[in-house]
């Protein structure tokens, strides 16, 4: 079956208006639909199901299942770059009416790390994996942050092509 017809059938079935169409990239017609936006997902229900069915052990925040990611998101990002990923994750729960703004603010007032003991364990793990000392970590944290744009990347090309795309295709 033609991919375009499948996409149109999906839009018709789920009454999707305002989908973004991209005309003639090569010889194909492509449509972007964020399918997860049409799936009724409830974090608490999903967690309860996993606990019941698979003896899942819930973790405090999104992506805290990985020691390295937990340390990165719960310690390095807030300390070095003043970035708290919980804001984005909790915002998603607010938008989907799974959490109130007030509850999110209370959660953000808490430390991003589940416990001091776990932070110490994760820091030791991180230092061992990076082959760093605590002094090297402190030196890293004390240095001024550098933007990713200071390193070779496609940022300018991407932004230019995005502007061209918007000018050409979104005005159709």
Q: Is the pLDDT of residue 80 over 60?
A: yes
Q: How far is CA 118 from CA 3, 48, 124, 170, in A?
A: 49, 24, 10, 49
pLDDT recorded at residue 1: 39
Digit-coded pLDDT (tens) for 21-32: 444 444 444 556
**Token couple for 108:** 């953000």
Question: What token pair was written down for 46?
Answer: 């999903």
Q: Which residues does residue 22 pair with via DSSP β-bridges, in sequence order? A: 30
For residues 85 and 77, is the Cβ–Cβ distance under 8 A?
Answer: yes
How confident is the model at residue 39, as a pLDDT?
78
For 118-124, what is the mean pLDDT? Answer: 96
Q: Is the pLDDT of residue 162 over 90?
A: no
Which residue would you say has higher pLDDT here, 166 or 76? 76
Rounded Cα distance between 37 and 62, Å, is 18
* Confidence at residue 23, expressed as pLDDT on a 0 to 100 scale: 40
Report pTM: 0.67
Report, in angstroms and rounded to the nearest whole number, the Rg of the chain calculated over CA atoms: 22
pLDDT tens, residue by residue, 31-58: 566 777 777 889 999 999 999 999 999 9
Lowest-pLDDT range, 35-39, 71-75, 101-105, 148-152?
35-39
pLDDT at 172: 55
Give the model's pLDDT for residue 90. Answer: 94
Q: Is 115:74 a contact under the CB 8 Å cutoff? A: no
């Amino acid at each position: 079956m033609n991919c375009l017809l499948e996409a149109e059938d999906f839009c018709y079935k789920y009454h999707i208006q305002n989908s973004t169409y991209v005309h003639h990239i090569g010889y194909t017609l492509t449509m972007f639909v964020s399918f997860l936006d049409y799936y009724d997902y409830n974090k608490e229900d999903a967690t309860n199901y996993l606990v019941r069915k698979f003896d899942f052990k819930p973790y405090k925040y999104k992506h805290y299942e990985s020691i390295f990611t937990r340390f990165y998101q719960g310690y390095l990002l807030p300390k070095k770059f003043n970035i708290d990923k919980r804001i984005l994750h909790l915002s998603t729960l607010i938008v989907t009416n799974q959490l109130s703004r007030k509850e999110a603010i209370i959660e953000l007032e808490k430390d991003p790390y589940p416990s001091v003991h776990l932070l110490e364990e994760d820091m030791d793990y991180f230092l061992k994996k990076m082959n760093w000392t605590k002094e090297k970590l402190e030196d890293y944290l004390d240095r001024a942050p550098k933007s990713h744009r200071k390193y070779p990347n496609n940022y300018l090309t991407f932004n230019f092509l995005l502007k061209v795309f918007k000018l050409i295709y979104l005005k159709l």
